[in-house]
Amino acid sequence: MKISLLFILSTIFYFSVYSQKPALLNLKYEQNYTPTYYEVIEMFKVLDANYENATLLENGLTDSGKPLHTFVINNKNEFDPVKIKQQGKSVLLINNGIHAGEPCGIDASLKFADNILRNKDGLSEILDNTVIVIIPVYSIGGVLNRSAYHRSGQTTPYETGFRGNAGNYDLNRDFVKCDSENAKNFNRIFAQWDPDVFLDTHTTNGSQHQYSVTLIAPQPDMFPPTQEKFLRNKMLPSLFGNMKKGEYELIPYVSWMYPDPKRGIKMTQESARYSSGYASLFNSYGMMTENHVYKDYPDRVKSAYQFIEVLARFTSENSNEIIDSRKKGNEETIATKTHSIKFELDTTQYQEIEFRGYEVDAKQISPVSGLERFGYDLNKPYTARIKYFDVYKPTDKIKKPKYYILPQAWKGVVNRLEWNGIEFSRLAKDTIIEVEIDYIVDYSSPEKPYNGHFFHQEVSTRSEVQKIRYYAGDLVIPTRQKKVKYLIEMLEPKGRDSFFKWNFFDNILDSREYFSSYGFEENAIKYLEEHPDFKEKFEEKQKTDPEFSKNHRAQLAYIYNNTEWAEKSFKRYPVGRVF
């Protein structure tokens, strides 16, 4: 027995060493060079041509007119997501170059693809349980717009792309509104692959500390209980712990609570306009690496690479548990009667983490202006235990209806539901349905556009039950489906990144019909005669409200708004709820 086991082990060792092939790609990040768009695609083509178990696919266009690629790595010549899922494999999706000036992930993913395919250090065993899908470059227009003068605080790589894509969109605000072709096709890719784990790679200049890579983790409180526990107890501790075993340690993204991180930092909770928040709508474990801009580019690439490897290994080693936790999570999401739509940080709960920072010098003298500025003393590194606030509590809940009814007239919304694979049926014939419907009472909007929109905030509503006529072809959307979080967050006007807030329903916010102070008078008289109680109220107001008594139009409006002539659909949010 002992001999045969030894024989098997030595054979495995022999083959794993033997099967390690030479690298095919020549990356130059050590020389502070990141490849151009064309070089990136050419390198993935080389890998595609050399390995049967990997393929470069086109997934529709981007705003630049060039295709959005995915590079799929399996352990055999099978790239159909449905078949792969049927085989019980997990899917890790990695998105790069969303902000084209932050290219570490582009280099790191190229290196990772090359290494896993040539089985460097036995990496290819990851593929036994997990399929890796890489978006080589997401903001293609941004990467094509290459210059030494983007990102003024970043010295390397010497040339990078630009933050806006070809349509000047910040793609990390576009995941649900989908103004860009990039986001539209990303939604489709996400629906097609339904990734269990998702990573979006970035670079940050938001703080100064001793780490090359930081993590915006999936915020556990946005997940159903099984997944919340899995994240807090297993996934996040493992990712941080496994990074610690390598050259580069990982810390949570430094999200400010105080002017000095030494006093504590908080976990961020991203809404759906951001990639990780979008992923959480589908109970997918979505996260962002934020590499640290003040570290050398080679370190940034190598630390991003290390994280990709750690994440891929974790995903593969825990593949069944990840898949099961999402399956349970989806069941829990479907079963709940309410959905938490608003959260706030719980400042009473925190854990302590080790943090290696630099002492804050809030009164540093600027060499340029000679004036005081906020800065850090790089000669004073420290290691400290700091508070990390990572719990959010719900502050507002939505009662989940059985169905939403969406008139087909709102095409932009219908399209987005389709891109995301939302299940719905259509009314076979014109039908009057009793629904709960909202009126928009108030909202605020900025004076200047934000990412191409006048994003509404502070939305307040009131509800009414009405019988509304819907037409053949209007959408009946059941909430008994696993993508119900997307539905609620997008269709409820108070959702953090709802379609209402992103201006998809602005057409209800001004009235279409009016009354003429002259033309309506006859009907006003008739109405008063037929409604003596109202007439009494009206005359009382004439007597007691001096402003009102002197304003002809206000008096007519008072009557008009009480009648059947008043425009019912003005400010009426058109998505009905059926309970």
What are φ and ψ of residue 374, in 5° steps?
-80, 130
Q: Interface with Zn ion includes 173 (CB under 5 A)?
A: no
Residues 6+ apart with CB under 8 A from 14: none
CA distance 382 to 356: 6
CA distance 208 to 254: 9
Q: Interface with Zn ion includes 292 (CB under 5 A)?
A: no
Tell me which stretch binds Zn ion (CB under 5 A): 87-95, 187-195, 199-207, 422-430. 199-207
Rg of the chain, C-alpha, whole Å: 28
Residues 6+ apart with CB under 8 A from 355: 209, 251, 261, 262, 265, 383, 384, 385, 386
- 139 vs 319, beta carbon nearer Zn ion: 139
| Nearest in space to 552 (alpha carbons), one of 523, 514, 510, 520 | 520
- 94 vs 117, beta carbon nearer Zn ion: 94
Rounded to a whole number of angstroms, the minimum distance from the CB of residue 139 to Zn ion is: 10
Q: 3-class SS at 263?
A: helix
Tell me which stretch binds Zn ion (CB under 5 A): 94-102, 223-231, 300-308, 363-371. 94-102
Tokens of 451: 């990412």
CA distance 400 to 94: 32
**What would the DSSP string read from start to end of 364-385?**
EEPTTTSSEEEEEEEEEEEEEE
What are φ and ψ of residue 573, in 5° steps?
-70, 125
User: Could you identify the residue written with the tokens 């502050």?
Assistant: 395
Tell me which stretch binds Zn ion (CB under 5 A): 97-105, 139-147, 271-279, 363-371. 97-105
Rounded to a whole number of angstroms, the minimum distance from the CB of residue 97 to Zn ion is: 10
User: Which one-letter DSSP state was computed for residue 497?
Assistant: T
Q: Using CB under 5 A, count the residues that bind Zn ion.
A: 3
**What would the DSSP string read from start to end of 7-35?**
HHHHHHHHHHHHTPPPP-----GGGT---
- 139 vs 479, beta carbon nearer Zn ion: 139
Q: Interface with Zn ion includes 577 (CB under 5 A)?
A: no
Q: Interface with Zn ion includes 151 (CB under 5 A)?
A: no
Which of 66, 69, 89, 99 touches Zn ion (CB under 5 A)?
A: 99
- 102 vs 299, beta carbon nearer Zn ion: 102
Rounded to a whole number of angstroms, the minimum distance from the CB of residue 520 to Zn ion is: 56
259 φ/ψ sector (left φ>0, alpha ψ -120 to 50, else beta): alpha
Rounded to a whole number of angstroms, the minimum distance from the CB of residue 293 to Zn ion is: 10
Rounded to a whole number of angstroms, the minimum distance from the CB of residue 290 to Zn ion is: 7
Tell me which stretch binds Zn ion (CB under 5 A): 65-73, 117-125, 132-140, 200-208. 200-208
- 202 vs 339, beta carbon nearer Zn ion: 202
Cβ-count burial 454-471 (b if 16+ within 10 Å, e if not): ebbeebebeeeeeebebe
Tell me which stretch binds Zn ion (CB under 5 A): 45-53, 201-209, 243-251, 419-427. 201-209
- 142 vs 357, beta carbon nearer Zn ion: 142
**What would the DSSP string read from start to end of 70-123?**
EEEE-SSS---HHHHHHTT-EEEEEE--SSTT-THHHHHHHHHHHHHHTTGGGG
Residue type, 350: Y
Q: Interface with Zn ion includes 184 (CB under 5 A)?
A: no
- 139 vs 333, beta carbon nearer Zn ion: 139
Rounded to a whole number of angstroms, the minimum distance from the CB of residue 148 to Zn ion is: 19
Q: Interface with Zn ion includes 416 (CB under 5 A)?
A: no
**What would the DSSP string read from start to end of 111-154?**
HHHHHHHTTGGGGGGGGGTEEEEEES-S-HHHHHS-BTTSSTT-
Q: Interface with Zn ion includes 163 (CB under 5 A)?
A: no
- 99 vs 292, beta carbon nearer Zn ion: 99
Tell me which stretch binds Zn ion (CB under 5 A): 35-43, 197-205, 436-444, 489-497. 197-205
Q: Interface with Zn ion includes 202 (CB under 5 A)?
A: yes
Rounded to a whole number of angstroms, the minimum distance from the CB of residue 295 to Zn ion is: 15
Tell me which stretch binds Zn ion (CB under 5 A): 102-110, 229-237, 361-369, 457-465. 102-110
CA distances from 199 to 2, 48, 143, 318, 396 (A): 43, 22, 19, 17, 29
Rounded to a whole number of angstroms, the minimum distance from the CB of residue 495 to Zn ion is: 24
- 98 vs 281, beta carbon nearer Zn ion: 98
CB neighbours of residue 362 within 10 Å? 11
- 102 vs 174, beta carbon nearer Zn ion: 102
Rounded to a whole number of angstroms, the minimum distance from the CB of residue 106 to Zn ion is: 13
Tell me which stretch binds Zn ion (CB under 5 A): 113-121, 195-203, 247-255, 265-273. 195-203
Rounded to a whole number of angstroms, the minimum distance from the CB of residue 325 to Zn ion is: 28
Rounded to a whole number of angstroms, the minimum distance from the CB of residue 202 to Zn ion is: 3
Rounded to a whole number of angstroms, the minimum distance from the CB of residue 166 to Zn ion is: 17
Tell me which stretch binds Zn ion (CB under 5 A): 74-82, 93-101, 305-313, 516-524. 93-101
- 73 vs 143, beta carbon nearer Zn ion: 143
CA distances from 514 to 425, 519, 553, 570 (A): 36, 11, 12, 11
Tokens of 1: 């027995």
Rounded to a whole number of angstroms, the minimum distance from the CB of residue 172 to Zn ion is: 6
Residues 6+ apart with CB under 8 A from 492: 341, 398, 498
User: Could you identify the residue written with the tokens 């959408």?
Assistant: 475
Strands 425-426 and 475-478: antiparallel
- 202 vs 266, beta carbon nearer Zn ion: 202
Rounded to a whole number of angstroms, the minimum distance from the CB of residue 511 to Zn ion is: 42
Q: Interface with Zn ion includes 300 (CB under 5 A)?
A: no
Positions that interact with Zn ion (CB under 5 A): 99, 102, 202
